[in-house]
Amino acid sequence: MHPELTLVHDQPLVSLNTFRIPARARHYLRIAGAGELAAVRADPQLSRLPRLVLGGGSNLLFTRDFDGLVLHMAGQGREIVGEQDGKVLVRAQAGENWHGFVRYTLEQGLGGLENLSLIPGTVGAAPIQNVGAYGTETKDVFHSLTAYDMASGELRTLDGAACRFAYRDSIFKHPEGRELVVLDVTFALPAAWQPNLRYAELAQAARDAGLAHPSPREVGGLVEAIRRRKLPDPAEIGNAGSFFKNPVVTGEHCARLLAQFPNLVHHAQPDGSEKLAAGWLIDQCGWKGRSMGAAGVYPKQALVLVNLGGASGAEVARLAAAIQADVQARYGVLLEPEPVFI
Ligand code: EPU
């Protein structure tokens, strides 16, 4: 094996996934950069193993041990790399903690990432599912990324179009992107910043705080306060954020549901479809605060499933399936999980 690689066998993953599921990996490597990925690719044994690229482990549900090679992305570093078309370009390595990076940009006086404050996970994971919150998605502030192609051994630079961003989706979740391992991400932050207060709850929080012209740091503070109020801190209670995506239905389906459920929360999409609030649907089915074994529905936000202590991944998956069945029966909508099931 390549001298750069320190392979670990039977690695516990409980502290490497925010759901705190006690799974194990048969093989495990910390990856600081492209050199180690090239070494994995060149190794006849390692290159044949099933691979799991792990960032902060905040969007994963282990339903079993992982019988393959975990590549734990650990590259550190962040820097302002230049300016282009009125935007400041800031780059961070994949293993950087996301919120730490957001804070760093705010401390440099740069706005743009403040609405994405306090999202668990790493910089490298942000483009994978185009993380978004409070009216901003990764794609809105994205410039480009560097990925190592495990198939060809080449370094590739992908711009936003190449990443094919969509709601909680990108090329990296599809077969064409499966061989690409994100090494660093560059964001384009506006030199002339304007707050994005389109999300009603955030606008209200700004008014309540008497902030007519908030700074990026002040908006970040408001977002942190909203998240702390509604979402469980993974350091205290195991979870992976929203467990389901907000489902998109046709305009006709939404109209039929509205006739029966006038309070239905829905947001019209540009193409005439309607996005429903999965949290509302689950809440209305009576699941908020309920549990099955050691897996529960968070009492303050029904879209978040939690590990009440010692839950297995299978237990969480059973709770998720029971919720899906109820929502399907009542609303005719199939909720799609947001975390990746292993
Ligand atoms: N609602 C309920 N009951 C609940 C939860 C929500 O009735 O238990 C209703 C709310 O009253 C509101 C609507 O559902 O009318 C939407 O709720 P909320 O504003 O809390 O946002 P969400 O749609 O549940 C999404 C993202 C979150 C993100 C927030 C804020 C998804 C899957 N989730 O949640 O992202 O922080 O908006 O932008 O898109 C994540 O992906 O892990 C995540 C936390």
CATH of the domain at 60: 3.30.43.10
Give CA separation, 341 vs 243, 325, 336, in Å.
11, 18, 12
Same domain, yes or no: 115 and 176:
yes
Q: Name the residue at shortest CA distance from atom 33 of ligand 1.
A: 242
Find, among 125, 152, 149, 156, the residue nearest to 138 by Cα. 125
Q: Is residue 2 part of a domain?
A: no
Residue where a domain terminates, one of 186, 207, 230: 230
Same domain, yes or no: 269 and 212:
no
Residue where a domain terminates, one of 197, 230, 263: 230
Residue where a domain terminates, one of 73, 101, 123: 73
Give CA separation, 135 vs 181, 203, 220, 222, in Å.
27, 11, 13, 14
Task: Quote the domain boundaries for residue 272.
Answer: 238-341
Same domain, yes or no: 136 and 201:
yes
Does the annotation count 338 as an active-site position? yes
* pLDDT given at position 4: 72
Q: Is residue 3 part of a domain?
A: no
Same domain, yes or no: 92 and 188:
yes
Same domain, yes or no: 226 and 245:
no
The answer to whether the CB of 30 is under 6 A from ligand 1 is: no
Same domain, yes or no: 68 and 120:
no
The answer to whether the CB of 133 is under 6 A from ligand 1 is: yes
Same domain, yes or no: 258 and 190:
no
Cα of 170 vs centre of ligand 1, distance in Å, is: 21
Same domain, yes or no: 209 and 313:
no
CATH of the domain at 188: 3.30.465.10
Ranges of beta strands (E only) in the chain are 8-12, 24-31, 51-54, 60-61, 66-73, 78-84, 87-93, 132-133, 136-137, 142-149, 155-159, 180-190, 238-242, 248-249, 266-268, 274-276, 291-292, 295-297, 304-307, 340-341
Q: Is residue 1 part of a domain?
A: no
Question: How many domains does the chain contain in total?
Answer: 3
Same domain, yes or no: 226 and 82:
yes
Same domain, yes or no: 114 and 205:
yes
pTM for the model: 0.95
Mean pLDDT by 10 residues, the chain (342 residues): 81 97 97 96 96 96 98 97 96 98 97 97 96 97 98 98 97 96 98 95 97 96 97 96 97 96 95 96 98 97 97 97 98 96 96
CATH of the domain at 255: 3.90.78.10
Cα of 90 vs centre of ligand 1, distance in Å, is: 29
Does the annotation count 215 as an active-site position? no
Does the annotation count 24 as an active-site position? no
pLDDT tens-place string over residues 173-231: 999 999 999 999 999 999 999 999 999 999 999 999 999 999 999 999 999 999 999 99
Q: Is residue 333 part of a domain?
A: yes
Same domain, yes or no: 62 and 46:
yes
Cα of 302 vs centre of ligand 1, distance in Å, is: 9
Q: Is residue 194 part of a domain?
A: yes
Same domain, yes or no: 211 and 260:
no
